[in-house]
A and B are shown apart, each in its own frame.
Chain A
Amino acid sequence: MTLMALDPIIARRIEIHSIAERTVQGRERRASVAVWACRACLIVVLIPLVAILFYVASRGIAAWNWAFFSHLPTPAGIPGGGVSNAIVGSLIIDGVAAAAAVPFGVAGGLFLAESDGPVAGALRFAADVLSGLPSITIGIFAYAVIVKIQGHFSAVSASFALGVLMLPVIMRASETAIRSVPRELLEGGLSLGARRATVARKVVLPAALPGLITGVLLGIARAAGETAPLLFTVIGSQYWNLSPTKPMGALPLVVFQNGIQAYPDLVKTAWGAALFLVVMILVLSVGSRLVAARLRKVRR
C-alpha cells in the first residue's frame, strides 16, 4: 500500500531533480559570465579612484616638506613658504562647523527615527532637499545672512555654511543608525518603566554609537573638501589668523587659487594642499570605519 502511494511522488522527485540538475549546470556557465561582468564593473569603478589618488599623490608629494607644513605662503615667484595658515584655518573652520552641526544632526536623526508624525516627514524631506542643494547656494546664503551683515569676510561664516552642509548628512546617517537598533531594546526599556527619553539616552543611542560615529565622520569629510561655500565666506588669507571673525586661509582655497596661477611654485603648493585634503578625508573615512568596527567587536 505504501509503495503504491509513493510511486507518483518518486516519479515526480526524479523528474524535478533532473530538471534541477540541468538548470544548475546551465547556470554555472552564466554565473561565471556574470561574476566576470561584476569584476569588470568593479575595475571600471576603481580606475578613476585609483587614478586620481595616484596622480594627486605623485604630484602632491613633491610639495611636501617641512616648510610646507610650518611656513606661511611666500609671494608669487619667491620659492619656499608653506600653507601652515591654511591647514590650521581648515581645522578651525571644519571643527567649529562640526561642533555646531553634530548635536543638531544627531538630535534631528533621533527625532526622525523615533517619530513617524507629519513633522518628521517634513523634516526628512527638508533634509533630503538640503543635501541635494548645490553647495554654492549655501555659500551665497551664508554670504547674504552673515558676511553682508557683519560687513566683512570671516571664518565663522564659512563654518556656518559648512555646518549647514553637514547637517542633513549627519541627520540622515544618524536616523539610519538609530533605526537599525532592534525595536525590542526600546520596548525592553519601556517595559521597565523608563521614560522614552531615558531609554533613548541610556539604551538606544549607546547601541547606535558605531553607526553614529561613522555617520558624523562621513558628514565632516563631505564638508571638509567643499570649496564653493568658502569662496563667499572666508575668502582666504596669506597671513596667520586664529580669530574666527576674520578671514582665514583654508586648504580648498589654496588648491583653487594657487592651482590656476602661472607660477610653478604656486601650482606645486596647490597639489600639496590637494594631497593633504585627500589624506585628511581618507583618514576620516577609514578611521570612522575602524572605530565603528572596534566598538562593535567590544560589544559582542
Chain B
Amino acid sequence: MTDPMIKPELAPGVAAEPELVPPPSPMPVMQLRDVSVAFSGRPAVRNVSFDIPENEVTALIGPSGSGKTTLLRSLNRMHDLVRGAEVSGSILLGDIDVYGGSISPTLLRSRVGMVFQRPNPFPTMSIYDNVTSGLRFNGVRRKALLEEAAESALIAAALWDSVKNRMKAHASTLSGGEQQRLCIARALAVEPRVLLMDEPTSSLDPVATKRIEELLGELKDRVSIVIVTHNMQQAMRVSDTCAFLLMGEDRAGELVEYAATTKLFGEPDDPRTADYVNGRFG
C-alpha cells in the first residue's frame, strides 16, 4: 500500500530556502528495504522500506509500540547487543550493506552515531574527555585533531561558549539540557554521516527542548538526522521528511506513510495518518 520507492528529491516543500539549496544529493544516505525486526521470533517491526535523505531531518513518528525505537536501533546495529534479536531485509549506508559483513558494527557506529532518551555522559570523565571519547575509542591520538574536533563539535552543539573555560570539569556538573547537548557533541565529534536520536528531548524541560530543536536545523549541513519522537508538534517543527508507523496485526510495527513533513501533516494520503496527526487516536 505504501510506495517505498518515493524519491527524496521528489518530495516538495522540503527545503526551507529553495533558491539556495539545490536538491540534496540524489543518493539517499541510508536505504531501508523490507526491514523486519523480531525478538525471539516475535515480530516487532515488519517490512519497512524507505529512504533517509542526506542532510535532512527525518522523523519517525507513531504511537507507543509502533516500533519507532526498534527500527531506529536497527540502523546502527544496536540490536546486536540483544540476544534473540533478528534483523532481516536490507539496510544500506551509502552503498555499504549495514548487515552485510563488509563493515564491522564498531566501524558502522562511528559513521552512524546515536543520542539517547536520557543524557548519558560518562560520569567519570571530564567534559573534554567526554567529547573526545569517541575519537579516542577509534584510535585518534593526534592532540590537534582531538582539540579541533572537540571545539567544532561543541560549537555545533551550541555548548562551546558555556564550557570552553571549564573543559576539565566533570560532565555531571552540567544541567540536564547541557548534558544532552554534550552527548550530541560527543556523537558529532566522530563526524558521523548519520545521527540517530531516540526521543532526545523527552527528559528535558521546554526551554532545553527548544534549544535542541533549534540545533537540529543547524546540524543538517553536517550530518543527516533521524529522530524518533512522540511529540507531533516536534516532528512538524524539526523534520523535513516523516515516516509514520503504526502497530499492525500481531502487534508488529508497520510503515503507514512516508512523505515530506508538510504533506504528511497537511494532506496525508492514508486516512490513518490523518486520524493520528489530527489527534483522533494514539
Pair from one complex: yes
Question: Which A residues are in CB contact (< 8 Å) with B20?
Answer: 1-2
Given contacts A2-B221, A22-B139, contact A16 B190 (CB under 8 A): yes
Question: Which A residues are in CB contact (< 8 Å) with B148?
Answer: 12
Question: Which B residues are in CB contact (< 8 Å) with A5?
Answer: 221
Given the complex of chains A and B, what is the CA–CA distance between A15 and B148 in angstroms?
12
B145 in contact with A20 (CB, 8 Å)? no
**B207 interfacial contact with A, CB 8 Å:** no
Q: How far is the CB of B193 from chain A (nearest CB, A)?
A: 8
A23 in contact with B139 (CB, 8 Å)? yes
Main SS at interface, chain A:
helix
**B21 interfacial contact with A, CB 8 Å:** yes
Given the complex of chains A and B, what is the CA–CA distance between A12 and B223 in angstroms?
13
Q: From residue 15 to 58 of chain B, which have CB atoms closer than 8 A to chain A?
A: 20-21
Q: From residue 1 to 55 of chain A, which have CB atoms closer than 8 A to chain B?
A: 1-2, 5-6, 8-9, 12-13, 15-17, 19-24, 26-28
Question: Which A residues are in CB contact (< 8 Å) with B135?
Answer: 16
Given the complex of chains A and B, what is the CA–CA distance between A13 and B107 in angstroms?
13
**Which of B111, B138, B145, B221 counts the most chain A CB atoms within 10 A?**
B138
Given contacts A5-B221, A6-B222, A21-B107, contact A13 B139 (CB under 8 A): no
Q: How far is the CB of A151 from chain B (nearest CB, A)?
A: 60
Interface size on A, residues (CB 8 A): 20
Q: How far is the CB of B262 from chain A (nearest CB, A)?
A: 22
**B152 interfacial contact with A, CB 8 Å:** yes
Q: Which residues of B contact A (CB under 8 A)?
A: 20-21, 104, 106-107, 110-111, 135, 138-140, 145, 148-149, 152, 190-191, 193, 221-222
Sample 6 A-B pairs with CB under 8 A, ordered by A number.
A5-B221, A16-B140, A20-B138, A20-B140, A23-B138, A27-B106
Beyond the given A2-B21, A5-B221, A23-B139, please list 14 additional residue pairs across the A-B interface where CB-CB is below 8 A.
A1-B20, A6-B221, A8-B152, A9-B222, A12-B148, A16-B110, A16-B135, A16-B145, A16-B190, A19-B138, A19-B140, A20-B107, A20-B110, A24-B107
6 residue pairs, one from A and one from B, having the closest CB atoms: A23-B139, A13-B191, A20-B138, A20-B110, A24-B107, A16-B191
